[in-house]
Structure 1
Amino acid sequence: MNDVAAACRAVLTAGEPREKVKAARQAWRALKAGRLDHHFGVAMPDAPARPDRPELLAPSHMPKRGRAGSERSRIAMLHALAHIEFSAIDLAFDCAGRFGADFPPEFTADWFSVGADEAMHFALLDRRLRALGSHYGALPAHDGLWEAAAATAHDVMARLAVVPMALEARGLDVTPATVARFEAAGDMRSAAILMRIYRDEIRHVGVGTRWFRDAAGSAGFEASGRWKWLIRTYFRGTIKPPFNDSARASAGLSRDFYAGLAEESVL
């Protein structure tokens, strides 16, 4: 592991959660210490390694989470979020390893940093699940995040538009209400973890938005118009309110990107 692509591939090919978290942290420390060459001599795998559990189901086949506010419901929510963060480790390092050769080293550094954050988020959530008598893998999950990555593996602007600027931005919209539900149930420890993740995710959406704007400018595109075209082309979901406009604005994702698409979705 002496170049950034090899470090990224090491993360992606680590299947067990502890191994993936360890590989992500090692990669980020090695980059910060100047031990990785900005070289891309190995290809990224078509799909990341995964543990035997959780069982991956289609979103429509996912079981109900139970009564809102119950411990069962809260464990199910934490498990779903842990799976999102686990997948996000791969998304960050795949973005760096797949597209980094076309960008300055700061692009790679940004996504290594994001990936290390996601590893920390996953570890926090898994630890919390264990404190509640569960663990990551105890419940089924779906692989929608990686499916979005696979669909955009050929185009960095599509990847940035769909993953950080649509899927992760949606997390900014819904997390404050989720935190409030945990607080109402008296689960202040889980609420604090989710707030830590929320603050970090604003930065992550900001990383995606900043590099999208940079790529759009280099290609001669108007950023918000190109984003809308890419979302219509590659995003399987809908861009719909309510929006956390202040968090999105903090990430550089202004309303001129998403408001028009939201209006289209309700027509």
Structure 2
Amino acid sequence: MTLPPSIASVGAACAHVLLTPDPAAKLMAARAVARAWRLGRLAHRFDAAMPDRPARPAAPELLPANRMPKRGRIGSDRARIAMLHALAHIECVAIDLAFDLIGRFGGEFPSAFTDEWMRVGADEAMHFALLDRRLRQMGSHYGALPAHDGLWEAAEETAHDALARLAVVPMVLEARALDITPATVERFEHVGDSASARILRRIMIDEIRHVSAGTNWFGWATNGLGLNAANHYQILVKRHFRGTLKPPFNDSARRQAGLTEDFYVPLAS
């Protein structure tokens, strides 16, 4: 897929991804934008407003988290499909989160910020493709089940502040995935679904890099403002994150990402 000739800037390209409703087309748009940036075809210019909400397809139906159906034990095909569908939805929204971060806040950072988050956006598109393909192998597809909109609610809460966005999305929500994915992989392996387990292991390797990107740029920005990174992180999480940080934490994976215990342990419930 190539971008329309009218799209010549990073800002316009990011808005294009967000305004593409069809998941398959969004995946292709994300890849095309990341490639165009890598090849030097997009000006480092932020001349397009990011939408308040991305365009969404008719399916999946978006429900409040407390109305989501229970998935049940992962041993059944139905429960495994439900788990993979939930993860596919997270990755689909993560495409929008990556490109919204660039388009909304990229002008506040050096071009290396755009380099890194373009790679993240391309990763999220690949993750979504892997999960949707696995769902189809199991007789389902993305959109077949309802999903919840909690990830984009976090984006709305932090739409005014780059540091708040970095603190809440990569450094809380994506870091949480580092905590829970190993146990999820074990459950898939235990029931003999090694194909799904391999996908989740691959995604987790990439997610360590994504958390690292958030942590590194958060540190860059707080250092420039003369702020203590861990203290300011705690202030922003208390202010903008609606949930709680619950142990157990995958301290090893978090440490690989540069997210050390002095950031999150003081916030643990």
TM-score normalised over the length of structure 1: 0.98
Which among 24, 33, 41 is matched to residue 35 of structure 1? 41
Aligned: 1:234 with 2:244: no
Aligned length: 263
The equivalent residue for 1:139 is 145
Q: List aligned pairs for 1:44-123, cutoff 5 A.
A: 44-123=50-129
Q: Does the 8 A contact of 2:74 with 2:188 survive in 1?
A: no
Provide structure 2 residue ranges, at least 5 long, that are not aligned to the other structure.
Answer: 1-6
Deviates more, 1:67-76 or 1:218-227: 67-76
The equivalent residue for 1:191 is 197
Aligned: 1:149 with 2:146: no
Tell me by how many angstroms 1:68 deviates.
Answer: 3.1
The equivalent residue for 1:259 is 265
Percentage identity across paired residues of the two chains: 65
Aligned mates of 2:150, 2:75 — CA distance in 1: 25
Structure 1 runs of 4+ off > 4 angstroms?
Answer: none
The equivalent residue for 2:183 is 177
SS of the aligned residue for 1:220 comes to: coil
Provide structure 1 residue ranges, at least 5 long, that are not aligned to the other structure.
Answer: none
Aligned mates of 1:177, 1:71 — CA distance in 2: 18
Aligned mates of 2:55, 2:31 — CA distance in 1: 17
The equivalent residue for 1:200 is 206
Cα deviation 1:132-159 (Å, max 9, x = unaligned)? 0000000000010000001100000000
Aligned mates of 1:186, 1:49 — CA distance in 2: 37
Matched letter for residue 129 of structure 1? L
SS of the aligned residue for 1:161 comes to: helix
Cα deviation 1:46-68 (Å, max 9, x = unaligned)? 11001100000000000010223
Q: Does the 8 A contact of 2:155 with 2:169 survive in 1?
A: yes
Cα deviation 1:23-51 (Å, max 9, x = unaligned)? 00000100110111100111111110011
TM-score normalised over the length of structure 2: 0.97
Q: Does the 8 A contact of 2:230 with 2:262 survive in 1?
A: yes
Which among 6, 12, 15 is matched to residue 6 of structure 1? 12
Aligned mates of 2:57, 2:117 — CA distance in 1: 23
Aligned mates of 2:184, 2:73 — CA distance in 1: 14
SS of the aligned residue for 2:14 comes to: helix
